[in-house]
Structure 1
Amino acid sequence: MTQQSTSYQGNKLRLYLGSILLFISIFSTATIVALLIFLCVLGPFSLRYKVANAWCSLVVWMTKFFCGLGYEVEGLEHIQGLDAAVVLSKHQSAWETLALRHILPPQTSLLKRSLLWMPIWGWALATLKPIAIDRKNRNAAMRKLLDEGTACLQEGLWVVTFPEGTRTEPGEEKKFGAGGAMLAQKSGYPVIPIALNSGEYWPRYSFLKYPGTIKVKIGPPIESRGRKAADINAEAEAWIRQAMQDISTR
């Protein structure tokens, strides 16, 4: 049971009703959008991306409309003028997997290959140039990240990674994996660290979405050229942990 669920003092009926309406709206619109993406499969990637991105923006809007959950971003100036970058982001909920597509420039993301096996939604996702890996085969997963990630960066797509590997509870910290930093080292593109506190309002494994304002903090670019991946990773991890202390409300 999350701290929010035990301490929330607002209107419980609105909380449950809003979460139900959001759930229904997300899954119904996701199916429609997936079918639209299929219709665009013979067209350019940019068209499919725009359709998917429009849905991510819609979900962000519906989250605010139904649940009273908005967001604010600090540090957008740090991403201005960058052709592409490797993003190392905190990961606390499903919210950022959609919202970062709305906030950041055109991108791809590192994800579990099994997600592409989901009927309709996963198949549509497979057309959006994801870097889909088998986590059980670490060596093959790393090779795929480095090869496909570098190609995407050179194409102008940002690569979004969650170095902790899985969603964490607010206040929880996991050791950063080195994949994103190694991609930055190999490709020469900078790292953009991102901290966020989405788990305080959209808890993992919870159906309920609590009203409030998610804080997203984007850090300055971390240079990767001529540096070791371990040093890049350590700098990003230190920045994110400090930023989490600044934005966390509990």
Structure 2
Amino acid sequence: MGYAIRWLRSLIFVGQMYAAMAIIGILFFPWALVSRRGARIACVFWCRWSRWTAGWMVGLKSEIRGTPPTDQVIIASKHQSFFDIILIFSAVPAAKFIMKRELLWMPVFGQYALRIGCVPVDRGKRGAAISKMLRDVERGAAEPGQLIIYPQGTRVAPGVHKPYKVGAALLYEQTGQPCVPAATNVGVFWPRKGIYRKPGIAVMEFLPVIEPGLSKTEFLKRLEREVETASDALYEEATGHAAD
């Protein structure tokens, strides 16, 4: 009976979260059309609304650890569910994501993603998308901010290890920007699929900066080691069990 009640509360939470996305998106749309700042404020407002309602509707609190970057950097983050997108966007001032092109078709979300400067990529064509983004930066067409990439290329369940792809290393090498690794345990409470949300404390942790200058191979090894180690520690903190 207790699980059924928690599942129902999760369903109500998810429903109102997406309803709020539509309402906020429509209300802010005129401002978002003429100003990227308006689009960003709308997105931040919705992210904070989602974090707040998750706390009291399903008992899912959230916490940001470490120092969120405020200058122009690459953020290479562990990706476990939609909730880590919400946490990371609410924590940094000018986030923009490298995202799957299919998400552009998602109502409201897709339109706002383009307005804040996200870079849509085709599956299997990430190299071409990164090259285009670099050209845009050089021409000044892309606004400065914190460019977020998920180096594993997809959502990965807590405790599961999946190889890191070369995209993050290419960005790191070609932009010459520092990289801020980020770890999380959100998938323990908010799975990549399904309705049920578990109570607890979901954490997004920003790790020490990796300064420019490493080779692609050195960078990718260090990134994977630091993100996976920190994410495994957060997983153990959330569950009381070490990752496999």
TM over 0.5: yes
| Shift of residue 96, structure 1, vs aligned partner | 0.7
- Tell me the residue number matched to 1:163: 151
Q: Does 1:117 align with 2:105?
A: yes
Instruction: Using the TM superposition, name which of 180-189 and 134-143 deviates more.
Output: 134-143
User: Corresponding residue for 1:246?
Assistant: 233
Q: Which residue is 1:5 aligned to?
A: none
| 1-structure distance, mates of 2:141, 2:177 | 8
State how far apart, in whole Å, the 2-side matches of 1:26 and 1:36 are.
Answer: 15
Across the two proteins, how many residue pairs are aligned to each other?
237
Residues 23-77 of structure 1 deviation map (CA, whole Å, 9 limit, x = unaligned): 111111111122234312442211211111111111111111211001223212x
Matched, 1:234 2:218: no
Give the alignment's Cα RMSD to 1 decimal: 2.2
Percent of aligned pairs sharing the same letter: 27
Kept in 2, the 8 Å contact 1:145–1:179? The answer is no
- Partners of 2:83 and 2:5 in 1: how far apart? 20
Q: Deviations over 1:181-221 (max 9, x none)?
A: 22122112111111111111111112100000112221110
Residues in 1 aligned to 2:129 and 2:144: alpha-carbon distance in whole angstroms = 22
1:19 to 2:7 alignment: no
Tell me whether 1:34 sits opposite 2:21 in the alignment: no
State the one-letter code of the partner of 1:134: D
| Cα distance between partner residues in 2 of 1:73 and 1:124 | 24
CA pair 149-171 structure 1, distance change in 2 beyond 3 A: farther
CA separation of 1:110 and 1:154: change in aligned 2, threshold 3 A: closer
- C-alpha separation in 2, matches of 1:91 and 1:23: 19
Whether the 8 Å CA contact 2:80–2:155 is kept in 1: the answer is: yes
Equivalent residue number for residue 129 of structure 1: 117
One-letter amino acid of the structure 2 residue matched with residue 83 of structure 1? D
Map 1:193-212 → 2, pairs under 5 A: 193-212=181-200
Cα separation, partners in 2 of 1:246 and 1:119, compared to 1, 3 Å: closer
Decide whether aligned partners of structure 1 residues 154 and 89 sit closer, same or farther in structure 2, where only a CA change above 3 A counts: same
**Could you tell me how far 1:148 is from its partner in structure 2?**
4.3
2 CA distance for matches of 1:173 and 1:149?
Answer: 32
Structure 1 contact 108–152 (Cα < 8 Å) conserved: no
The answer (yes or no) to whether the contact 2:119–2:129 under 8 Å persists in 1 is: no
Change in CA separation of 1:148 and 1:69 when aligned onto 2, cut-off 3 Å:
farther
Task: Name the aligned partner's letter for residue 63 of structure 1.
Answer: A
Shift of 1:152: 8.0
CA 1:228 to 1:202, structure 2 compared with 1: closer, same or farther past 3 Å? same
TM-score by length of 2: 0.88
- Equivalent position of 2:163 in the other structure: 175
User: Aligned pair in 2 of structure 1 residues 66, 150: CA closer, same or farther (>3 Å)?
Assistant: farther
Aligned residue identity for 1:240: V
State TM-score, norm by structure 1.
0.86
